[in-house]
Amino acid sequence: MAREIGEAGDAKSSTIKKHKRKKTKKESKTRIVHANILYDHAKGGDNPNRHYANNKIKTTKYTLLSFIPKNLFEQFHRFANVYFVFIALLNFVPVVNAFQPELALAPVVFILSVTAIKDLWEDYRRHRSDKEINHLDCLVYSRSERCYVEQYWKEVRVGDFIRLRCNEILPADVLLLSSSDPDRLCHIETATLDGETNLKQRQVVRSFIDLDAEFDPLKYNSVIECEKPNNDLNRFRGYIIHRNGRRDGLYKDNLLLRGCTIRNTEEAVGIVIYAGHETKAMLNNNGPRYKRSKLERQMNVDVFWCVIILLVMCLFSAIGHGLWMYQYGDKRPVFDVLSPEGTDLSPVVSAIYLFLTMIIVFQVLIPISLFVSIEIVKICQVFFIHQDMELYDEETDSHLQCRALNITEDLGQMQYIFSDKTGTLTENKMVFRRCTVAGVEYSHDANARRLAMYQEVDSEEEECLSHGGTLPRRESLCSQHSGKVVLRSQSTKSHRRTGSRAEAKRASILSKHTAFSSPMEKDITPDPQLLDKVNDCGSQMEFMRFHSQLLNQIPPDLCDVFDFFIALTICNTVVVSSPNQPRQKVSITLQKKLRQKRFRTRNVMKSSKKYLDGCKDSSSLTTNRSSSQRACSSMLSSPSAESTLTKLNEEHFPGQGLQQAFSPVPPNYDQAKASAPDKCELRYEAESPDEAALVYAARAYKCSLVGRLPDQVTVELPHLGKLTFELLHTLGFDSTRKRMSVVVRHPLTEQITVYTKGADSVIMDLVRPPSGNELGKRQRKILFKTQNYLNLYAADGLRTLCIAKKVLSKEEYAGWLRCHLEAETAIQGREELLFESALRLETDLHLLGATGIEDRLQDGVPETIAALRRAGLQIWVLTGDKQETAINIAYACKLLDPEEEIITLNAESQVQPKLFILPFLVHRLGLVIDGRTLAYALDKSLEDKFLAVARSCRSVLCCRSTPLQKSMVVKLVRNKLKVMTLAIGDGANDVSMIQVADVGVGISGQEGMQAVMASDFALPRFQYLQKLLLVHGHWCYSRLANMILYFFYKNAMFVALIFWYQFYCGFSGSAMIDQWYLIFFNLMFSAFPQLITGTLDKDVSAETLQELPQLYMSGQNSEEYKPYMFWMNMIDAFYQSLICFFIPYFAYADSNVDLFTWGTPITTLALFTILLHLGIETKTWTWMNWTSIAFSIVLFFMVALCYNASCPTCYSPSNPYWTMERLLGDPLFYLMCIITPIAALLPRYALLHLTVLRTLTIVFMYESVCKYSFWHP
């Protein structure tokens, strides 16, 4: 499916347009969908859905008829093609024509047809994949047979009812009407859409929630009115209008998208809303990205110079011809042929004609095959990068993907790397390390030992050469990334990740469906002290519950411990599943009870529905969570919030007794454990790894999350058994607030409680200890202690999160709820209002504790960074993390060096950054800047100073930066310093940075696919960046740069031969090289060797490139292709052409040689010279190089011999009959073949040796010392 989506891309637009045009007449703003079965008898005629696109997809661009015109039209969008066609057509004008017109068309036709065939083949593949997809089966309700029958996907129409079973792929965008799930939910996996592997919940449309019987399509008679098709995956709005006039809102939670997979749900029924090309998945397809590489930009400048040279040469010839004509005056010599009409041409007119002729003759200077060749070479390069074993990750079974096909060579020219930290440098495998609760630190030493063990196994297996640095106070981190050999040979590579890592791998393969669940993350060893406290707390609570005592008699620190773990367990969006049946939701006995409860809640909803139905405004379009909806409706339907709440209370817990809230399971801890229906381990699926880590941590303390529904969370606690929290609101995480909250009704205390989890910087500011009293004093103390521990954690490189809670009185809640509901129902600015609403709630918090989560560095990160650094790359780390954590990670991955002086910029206002003006004399500097200061630094007035400072620093670390700031930094550096930038990241917050940079690299890690989707290259691991840049980047760049230079040389050299001849033929535009050779020389005779060299040549071996990262600098400084090199090549080309021209000239001067008998040797000599030149440039000769060169020469002679022997009259006006045959019997020909290439290439060859020696490039020294033992063979 993913493939389909990928390929569907470009083709659909036209079809869509067509459909759209048709539709604009029929419908204005919305789409109205009726059930098809009502119209079955009418067979289309009056079916109101007939205008909508059906589900047949056609991603092909062309039909049989439209192929030729359409493809040609597309190809002529490329300027070069137009130019070449223009020149070919110019040949049809008799006055200026130079070649046989039909022949001149040949290369253009050849190039166009090669591209056309390629397009045709791609289109055919799309056609086949379309066909395959269109013929998938699905169950569609048939009125005539009164049951669901199998139909092909392509036969599905808008308005059809579809039955979907577990693990089926959705054929179209379907509105969920029924689900076998007791909660009327349907789980889908959206991996093919956004790559996120966690499950998403979808709900049955509200009107159909209450159906207890199976959904019967025949009874359906509602009409759906919804948005027109659009590509926003996260938005869907509409109404469903029932026959009785009732309207219900439809939200994105009701829509199942094409391409997703149904999970955890046995059966679901829905009605098709959007089909085929109008589905959101199809509308979201964007074709591959096109960027223009630096090299290509540089090349285009030189192509421009070639045009200038061409024009100069043509102009020179034209003037020369005019003068030549002029010198004869009125008396025309016999050999000066008049125009065909017999009229005299004035010198000026013939000069003008000649100018055009010369453009045709010299056209080869602008190489027609250059663009094609570059494309071919790039495709091959991409192929080889794809195939590299060392860029393949066994753990995830993924390899590098090149998503942008035409900027491979940019990889060899990078100067700045902007890296994200989390998930890029680190594994994004969050492991709970330690925590502090109520001011007491639990160091979790056993846990630390466990983690260290994982690491040891790793390092034992991976032979350890150097131990990473000596950093005091950072033992824990140092032990984690003991050094590894930077380079591993192929053989050791396969055994590399064994031991614990291998186990983890196996585990991850087994549990492929569940993210974030390697044993390392799951098996947390609890701290005994804390465990005691938890048990203690649990038993006390149990005791009190039985004695109906108030809970607040528990000592506050125990209470905090309890709340702390409750918060860890429920303050998240983790979904629970069971591993035995992957993706099957746990169905526990609890379910029954929940059903009862649900029934009650539903009553409330029903009562409130009336109000909502009456309320016709668009508030019903908002995408409320069901819990808040319910609250909303009850709230709105009753006169005061207070009474609603009490009513709710009553309905839920009529007896007010605590025991009601507990499960019927006997409240004995051990027994509860034994009788737990899910003996098997539960599996957690979280949106972010820290959430999972915290839930797993809580589970280690026997506080496990056992079930999550949209409106309630079930938690199993020691001694207390299962507790069900009613989930009133979830205020999701966002990067501005940097926290998330849940609002629940506490089952034990019956209080409305807010649990907040977030970055310490924000939470600590929000904590307000009550002033004065004992409690406040304690709080302040806790606050102080916690802050200390937080600093300690950060110093250890842990990610810190603070946990806080807040108890709301009913009045407070009601007051907030009112505002919140307004915000939720608001049409405009809903997001802002919700944000403000969240801000209002999250104040005056009570700090519970803090956690330290460890995010382990990825394999080989320090080594990679060191290597990249030695390669002259500036590495900046841009992270959203807090400063201390970031600095520590930076130390750990050797970005910062302990010897470095670190400048920390933390400005409070714009005035402060005077620092920027400080003279920096220390030679090793690291710059650390936080988000707030960055905002000032990115200001127009300061950005230059900021850059000046940043440039003088060895490393730059930006902490607490927002996604926007990240992209601004990249943009600033890229634009101001005029450098090549690479951004690498893995998460959605890196997308903007990835898009701004010259090359964006996505880590296909655990945080979804947004970064990968936006990237040009997707890597499985950060350390692969080393090989990608240092080896492949270098190769791609040097190969392509050399090939382009060679191309320019080759064409200039060839064309110059003809130019010199103009001095001997009165600048009349005649060529001694036969038209066939002239036209096919580039296309056939000299094309293959350079393609092979451009694809396979290795100027330096992969091993050397990795061992000596300094070699990468040649690409950074564009040393392979500097502007002067173009001119050097041009000069060399002119020199070589002079030799190739004048040796035959003098050898045959004053003889009876005829034009082609003289011109054919020149062609041959030019071919030999050009191939030998390539040979000099080729650094490694594989059998393919030999073959291609031999093939070129053989091909030339074969073609020449056949051509010269075939027909004495066919190739008018030129007639080289039997020339080559005769030449092969001429000793002079062979004598010239020996001397000319030698003389032509002597300077280049000699100079090559001299430069190699004089500059003593590192490569040469290295290779000669190591391999050839320079002076002692």
**Residue 278 annotated as binding site:** no
Cβ-contact 728, 826 below 8 angstroms? no
Instruction: Give the C-alpha distances (Å, rounded to integers) separating 505 from 449, 509, 597, 725, 987.
Output: 21, 6, 42, 36, 22
Nearer to other proteins, 110 or 1148 (CB): 1148
Q: Hey, is 164 helix, strand or coil? A: strand
Question: Shortest gap between Cβ of 99 and other proteins (angstroms)?
Answer: 11
Report the 10 Å Cβ neighbour count for 349. Answer: 15
CA angle 702, 708, 711 (to 5 degrees): 130
Burial class of 442 by CB neighbour count within 10 A (0 to 12, 13 to 18, 19+): buried
By beta-carbon proximity to other proteins, the closer residue of 547 and 1249 is 1249
Shortest CB 230 distance to other proteins, Å: 25
Q: How many CB atoms lie within 10 A of CB 1255?
A: 10
Long-range contact set of residues 465-473: C-beta below 8 Å, sequence gap at least 24: 468/862, 468/892, 468/894, 469/894, 469/898, 470/898, 471/891, 471/892, 471/898, 473/795
The least distance separating other proteins from the CB of residue 119, rounded to whole angstroms, comes to 19
Is residue 880 part of an annotated ligand binding site?
yes
3-class SS at 158?
A: coil
578 vs 1068 by CB, closer to other proteins: 1068
Read off the tokens for 973.
């550096």
Q: Cα–chain-centroid distance for residue 684?
A: 26
CB of 333 to other proteins, least distance (A): 4
Which two three-digit tokens encode residue 388?
A: 């590299």
Spatial contact of 67 and 275, defined as CB atoms under 8 Å apart: no
Contact (Cβ atoms closer than 8 angstroms) between residue 754 and residue 742 = yes
Six-digit token pair at 923?
């030679």
Please tell me whether residue 559 adopts helix, strand or coil conformation.
helix
Longest dimension (CA), the chain: 132
3-state secondary structure of 874: strand
Q: Nearest approach, Cβ of 376 to other proteins (angstroms)?
A: 17
d(CA 273, CA 285): 19
Tell me the sheet residues that pair with 767. 845
User: Could you tell me which residues are beta bridge partners of residue 1002?
Assistant: 985, 1018
Question: How much is the CA Rg of the chain, to the nearest whole Å?
Answer: 37
The span from the CA of 1102 to the CA of 394, in Å, is: 21
- Distances in whole angstroms, Cα of residue 625 to Cα of each of 628, 633, 1143: 5, 12, 87
Q: Where are the beta strands (DSSP E) in 180-221?
A: 185-189, 199-203
Nearest distance from residue 1149's CB to other proteins, in Å? 7
- β-partners of residue 201 are 187
Rounded distance, CA 370 to CA 1091, Å?
Answer: 10
Q: Is 733 annotated as a binding residue?
A: yes
270 is in an annotated binding site: no
Please report, as a single letter, which amino acid is at residue 988: A
- Catalytic residue at 523? no
Q: Is 964 or 1153 the residue whose CB approaches other proteins more closely?
A: 1153
Sign of the CA dihedral running 1003, 1006, 1012, 1018: positive
Q: How far is the CB of 927 from other proteins (least distance, A)?
A: 37
Q: Rounded to the nearest whole angstrom, what is the least distance from the CB of residue 1249 to other proteins in the complex?
A: 6
**Cα–Cα distance, 68 to 113 (Å, whole number):** 10
CB-nearer residue toward other proteins: 914 or 1272: 1272
Residue 960 annotated in ligand binding:
yes
**Please, what is the minimum distance in Å from the beta carbon of residue 273 to other proteins?**
23
Q: Return the closest-CA partner of residue 429 out of 500, 362, 342, 499.
A: 500
Nearer to other proteins (CB atom), residue 450 or residue 1179 = 1179
Cβ pair 257, 190 in contact under 8 A: yes
If the CB atoms of residues 129 and 1010 are measured against other proteins, the closer one turns out to be: 129
> Does 678 show up as a binding residue in the annotation?
no
Nearest distance, CB of residue 1243 and other proteins, angstroms: 9
Contacts of 1206 (CB under 8 A, 6+ apart): none
Closer CB to other proteins, 721 or 1115, in the complex: 1115
Q: Which is nearer to other proteins, 718 or 1161 (CB)?
A: 1161
Least distance to other proteins, CB of residue 1096, Å: 7
Amino acid at 1181: W
> Can you list the positions of beta strands (E) in 493-582?
575-577
Q: Are 683 and 671 in contact (CB under 8 A)?
A: no
Q: Judged by CB, which is closer to other proteins: 784, or 1270?
A: 1270
Nearest approach, Cβ of 1103 to other proteins (angstroms)? 11
Angstrom CA distances, 1156 to 191, 1060, 1161, 1200, stand at 66, 16, 8, 12
Catalytic option among 302, 410, 420, 998: 420
- Which residue type sits at 819? C
Which helix (DSSP H) or strand (DSSP E) does residue 870 occupy? helix 861-870
Question: How far is residue 771's CA from residue 779's CA, in Å, rounded to a whole number?
Answer: 10
Residue 420 assigned ligand-binding role: yes
- Which is nearer to other proteins, 98 or 404 (by Cβ)? 98
Q: Could you tell me which of 969, 902, 901 has the C-alpha nearest to residue 935?
A: 969
- Distance in angstroms (rounded) separating the CA atoms of residues 1003 and 419: 11
289 marked ligand binding residue: no
Q: Is 799 part of any known ligand binding site?
A: yes
- Of 124 and 328, CB closest to other proteins: 328
Determine the Cα–Cα distance for residues 1096 and 1114; give it in Å rounded to an integer. Answer: 19
Enzyme catalytic residues: 420
Q: Which residues are annotated as a binding site for ATP?
A: 420-422, 691, 733, 757, 799, 879-881, 960, 966, 989-990
Q: Which residues are annotated as a binding site for Mg(2+)?
A: 420, 422, 986, 990
